[in-house]
């Protein structure tokens, strides 16, 4: 009888493999065999299932939600990106980006496996439901911004190739939708983090480097939303703001851990 740790690793490797096959099929379906598109989506969905199963086994093994260190949060981030993309693909019929999104999710998941994977018992400060919601909402937010980043790069690329028109407007709209979700999730993430901080050490805001960067990121996307709604900026300029916003996301999530010190050193 294989134990849950073994099953966790096997299903994670399966997820990686299925995402890779999904990416290849998306590439093939985009370039010449259009009818392969369904298979591509199938493999992405299979990967998503394996990914979910793997997180489930980790949850069982650890006895707490697997959202307490960099490896776990990044696995959840990759999961959020795929989930959000699958929803987006259904609702907004965006097929052109399947390749890039599955490659992106694949890289995030592969990168996640490079971090310490051992399950440690969690320290007292981290034993809180607020923490679970905090990490979940932040990762869903970052995942939405990742999708907006890819659609915005698409916008900028299309503008270069002078193939403007319908697709460019569609990508711009998708970036906007993804940013709306990201902005909402990040607001929830920052707020649940503040409530957790107040429960844990009586301080809802302490200008810790990570929370300050999260606020900076939220403000950048806040500017995006205003520039779009009241200033009527054009798709290409907005795409640049979205790209800058995503750089800020990356810095908030990873840069702060490596370059700055603070409360969030464990995640």
Partner 1 sequence: MQRLLRFLASDGFGLTLLLLITLILMIAALLKPETAWQYIYISPFFFLLWVFLSISLLCALFFRFRFRFKSLGSILTHACVVLILIGGAVSAFFGERGFIELEEGQSSDLFYDDADRTHALPFEIALKDFSIDYYPGQPYIKEFRSTVELREGNQLLRTGKIEVNGPLKEKGYLLYQSGYDEENPRKTLLEVVRDPGVPIVYTGFVLLILGLSFVFFVKPNLRNHAG
Give me the residues that bind partner 1 (CB under 8 A), please.
120-121, 123-125, 127-128, 180-181, 183-184, 187-188, 191, 194-195, 198-205, 207-209, 212-213, 215-216, 219-220, 222-223, 226-227, 230-231, 256, 260-262
Rounded Cα gap, residues 69 and 36, in angstroms: 38
Q: How far is the CB of 234 from partner 1 (least distance, A)?
A: 17
Q: How far is the CB of 225 from partner 1 (least distance, A)?
A: 9
Q: How far is the CB of 180 from partner 1 (least distance, A)?
A: 5
Rounded Cα gap, residues 131 and 125, in angstroms: 9
> Considering beta carbons, is residue 70 or 128 the nearer one to partner 1?
128
**Residue 133, C-beta contacts closer than 8 angstroms, at least 6 positions apart:** 188, 192
Rounded Cα gap, residues 81 and 98, in angstroms: 11
> Considering beta carbons, is residue 27 or 188 the nearer one to partner 1?
188
Rounded Cα gap, residues 250 and 71, in angstroms: 15
> Considering beta carbons, is residue 128 or 159 the nearer one to partner 1?
128
Q: How far is the CB of 215 from partner 1 (least distance, A)?
A: 7
Rounded Cα gap, residues 242 and 225, in angstroms: 10
> Considering beta carbons, is residue 9 or 212 the nearer one to partner 1?
212
Q: How far is the CB of 163 from partner 1 (least distance, A)?
A: 29
> Considering beta carbons, is residue 79 or 183 the nearer one to partner 1?
183
Q: Which two tokens stand for residue 153?
A: 């790069």
> Considering beta carbons, is residue 56 or 262 the nearer one to partner 1?
262
Q: How far is the CB of 33 from partner 1 (least distance, A)?
A: 36
């Amino acid at each position: 009888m294989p134990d849950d740790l073994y099953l966790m690793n096997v299903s994670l490797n399966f997820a990686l493999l299925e995402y890779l096959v999904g990416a290849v099929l998306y590439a093939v379906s985009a370039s010449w065999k259009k009818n392969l598109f369904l298979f591509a989506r199938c493999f992405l969905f299979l990967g998503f299932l394996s990914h979910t199963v793997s997180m489930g086994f980790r949850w069982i093994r650890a006895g707490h939600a697997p959202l307490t260190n960099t490896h776990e949060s990044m696995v959840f981030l990759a999961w959020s990106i795929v989930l959000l993309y699958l929803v987006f693909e259904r609702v907004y019929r965006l097929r052109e980006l399947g390749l890039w999104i599955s490659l992106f999710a694949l890289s995030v998941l592969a990168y996640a496996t490079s971090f310490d994977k051992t399950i440690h018992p969690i320290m007292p400060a981290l034993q809180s439901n607020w923490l679970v919601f905090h990490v979940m909402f932040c990762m869903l937010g970052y995942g939405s911004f990742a999708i907006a980043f890819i659609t915005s790069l698409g916008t900028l690329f299309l503008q270069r190739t002078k193939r403007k028109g319908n697709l460019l407007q569609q990508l711009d709209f998708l970036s906007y939708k993804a940013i709306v979700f990201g902005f909402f999730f990040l607001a929830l993430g920052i707020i649940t983090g503040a409530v957790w901080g107040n429960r844990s050490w009586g301080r809802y805001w302490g200008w810790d480097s990570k929370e300050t960067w999260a606020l900076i990121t939220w403000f950048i996307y806040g500017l995006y939303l205003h520039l779009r709604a009241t200033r009527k900026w054009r798709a290409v300029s907005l795409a640049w703001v979205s790209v800058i916003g995503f750089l800020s996301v990356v810095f908030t999530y990873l840069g702060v851990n490596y370059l700055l010190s603070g409360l969030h050193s464990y995640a």
